[in-house]
C-alpha cells in the first residue's frame, strides 16, 4: 500500500461518522472520488454516488457503507453525567472504561465511559452481565448546567481512538466496519482510471447501514442497477475463541471473502471466482446460508431485483473499540472488483 493510500485510509477511518451523522466522512470520500470518476453527487439520505462511464451497460452498483457504530446522548443528570443509547450494535462488556468523543455543536468533548468500580460492588453485582444502561459518561462536569455548556441531548458519540499499526501490515481501529469498504471503492476507481470498461459503474458510499439500511434502500432504488456488489467486513476466525465448525476458516491476509448463498446471484458469484482465479488474486470462499447482514439485503430486492453478491474483508473483533485487519486484503479486494468490472460485457445474462 502506498503512503498516499494509507494516509487517506487513516484520514477516512479517523473522521467520525456514526450512522445518521456521516456527513464529514461522506464529504471527504466524495472529494477523493472526484479525481477518478466522471461524476460525483449525493442524494437526500446522504449517500455519495461516484459514476464511472455513465453511458456504459450494464449498470453496476458497488456499495460500501460509510457509517460506523456509536452512541448518542439521551439524558444529562443534575450532577453532569451523561446517559446514552447505542447507534448500531454493541457488546457492552467491551465498552466499559473506554474513552469517547461527544461531538457537540462547539466541537468534540472528551469523556470516559464509567461504571462502579469492582471494589465497591456486592458479590451478586460482580457476576451480573454488563448492560449499556449500567454505564454513564463522565466529562468532568460538576453539574448539568456546566455539562450543557459543552454537550447536549442528541449529540453523537464515537470511541476516542485512531487507526494504528500492530505490525507492518496489520492495523487496528474502532471504525474499519465499513469505512475500509468505502476506501476499497476508491482504490477500485484508481485501478480503473484510464481504462476502457463496458459497464456503467456507480460506486456508492451508503449511509445508515448500522441501523436501518436506509441508505442502501434509497440509493439502490435511485441507481437502478442490474448488478450489485456489497463490499463489507466479515468475521476472521484465526483467533483462539472462534469456532470454525460454525463459521468457517478465514484468515487475515488470505484475501477477500466471496460469499455463496441464497442472497448471492450465482452468475455474479461465478464471475467473481473466475476472475480471482484467472488473475491469481488471493481469495476465500464464504458460505452465507442466510442473509448477509450487509447492504446486499436492500440491494437484492430494489425495484424488480438486482443480481447481488457480497465481497468481504476478514476482520477480527467486529463492533469493538479495536477491530483488526490486514491491509493486503484491502488491496486484493480492490483488484478483484476491478477485474470483475473489466470482465463484464453488455451481452451478459444475469438471470439464474
3-state secondary structure 22-33: CHHHHHHHHHHH
What value does the mean pLDDT of the chain take?
96
From residue 286, how far is each of 24, 65, 246, 320, 352 by CA, in Å? 33, 20, 12, 22, 20
Per-residue pLDDT band for 127 (boundaries 50, 70, 90) equals confident
Cell numbers that stand for 63 in this block: 456499495
> Pairing relation of β-strands 307-315 and 227-235?
parallel
- The DSSP bridge partners found for residue 325 are 171
Q: pLDDT band for 120, please (50, 70, 90 cuts).
A: low
Section 145-149 average pLDDT:
98
- The percentage of residues in the chain with a pLDDT greater than 70, rounded to a whole number, is 100
Evaluate if residue 291 carries a pLDDT over 90: no
Q: How high is the pLDDT of residue 40?
A: 98
Share of the chain above pLDDT 90, in %: 94
* CATH number at 70-159: 2.40.30.40
* Topology adopted by domain 3-68+175-343: Aminopeptidase (3.40.630)
Our CA dihedral for 185, 187, 190, 196, rounded to 10 degrees, sits at -50
Structural domain boundaries of the chain? 3-68+175-343, 70-159
Banded model confidence at residue 314, pLDDT cuts 50, 70, 90: very high
Range 5-11, long-range pairs (CB < 8 A, 24+ positions): 5/187, 6/327, 8/32, 8/183, 8/186, 9/163, 9/180, 9/183, 9/327, 9/330, 10/162, 10/163
Residue 214, C-alpha cell as written in the block: 436506509
Concerning whether 209 is annotated as a catalytic residue, the answer is yes
pTM of the model: 0.96
The confidence score (pLDDT) of residue 312 equals 98
Q: Which of 22, 209, 323, 331 does the annotation list as catalytic?
A: 209
CB 171 within 8 A of CB 13: no
pLDDT of 8-55, one tens digit each? 999 999 999 999 999 999 999 999 999 999 999 999 999 999 999 999
Amino acid at each position: 500500500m502506498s503512503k498516499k493510500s494509507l494516509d487517506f485510509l487513516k484520514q477516512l477511518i479517523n473522521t467520525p461518522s456514526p450512522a445518521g451523522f456521516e456527513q464529514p466522512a461522506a464529504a471527504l470520500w466524495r472529494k477523493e472520488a472526484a479525481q477518478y470518476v466522471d461524476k460525483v453527487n449525493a442524494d437526500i439520505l446522504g449517500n455519495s454516488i461516484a459514476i464511472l462511464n455513465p453511458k456504459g451497460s450494464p449498470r453496476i452498483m458497488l456499495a460500501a457503507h460509510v457509517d460506523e457504530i456509536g452512541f448518542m446522548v439521551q439524558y444529562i443528570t443534575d450532577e453532569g453525567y451523561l446517559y446514552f443509547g447505542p447507534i448500531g450494535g454493541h457488546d457492552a462488556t467491551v465498552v466499559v472504561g473506554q474513552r469517547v468523543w461527544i461531538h457537540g455543536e462547539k466541537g468534540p468533548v472528551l469523556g470516559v465511559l464509567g461504571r462502579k468500580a469492582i471494589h465497591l460492588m456486592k458479590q451478586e453485582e460482580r457476576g451480573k452481565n454488563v448492560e449499556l444502561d449500567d454505564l454513564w459518561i463522565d466529562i468532568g462536569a460538576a453539574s448539568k448546567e456546566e455539562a450543557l455548556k459543552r454537550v447536549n441531548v442528541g449529540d453523537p458519540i464515537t470511541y476516542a481512538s485512531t487507526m494504528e499499526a500492530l505490525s507492518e501490515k496489520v492495523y487496528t481501529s474502532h471504525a474499519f466496519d465499513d469505512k475500509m469498504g468505502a476506501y476499497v471503492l476508491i482504490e477500485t476507481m484508481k485501478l480503473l482510471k484510464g481504462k476502457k470498461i463496458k459497464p456503467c459503474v456507480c460506486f456508492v458510499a451508503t449511509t445508515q447501514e448500522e441501523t436501518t439500511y436506509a441508505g442502501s434502500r434509497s440509493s439502490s432504488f435511485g441507481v437502478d442497477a442490474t448488478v450489485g456488489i456489497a463490499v463489507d467486513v466479515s468475521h476472521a476466525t484465526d483467533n483462539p475463541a472462534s469456532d470454525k465448525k460454525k463459521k468457517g476458516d478465514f484468515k487475515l491476509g488470505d484475501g477477500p471473502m466471496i460469499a455463496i448463498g441464497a442472497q448471492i446471484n450465482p452468475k455474479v458469484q461465478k464471475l467473481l471466482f473466475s476472475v480471482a482465479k484467472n488473475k491469481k488474486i488471493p481469495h476465500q470462499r464464504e458460505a452465507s446460508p442466510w442473509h448477509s447482514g450487509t447492504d446486499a439485503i436492500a440491494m437484492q430486492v430494489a425495484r424488480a431485483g438486482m443480481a447481488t453478491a457480497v465481497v468481504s474483508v476478514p476482520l477480527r473483533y467486529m463492533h469493538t473499540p479495536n477491530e483488526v485487519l490486514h491491509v493486503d486484503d484491502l488491496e486484493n479486494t480492490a483488484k478483484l472488483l476491478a477485474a470483475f468490472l473489466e470482465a463484464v460485457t453488455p451481452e451478459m445474462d444475469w438471470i439464474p
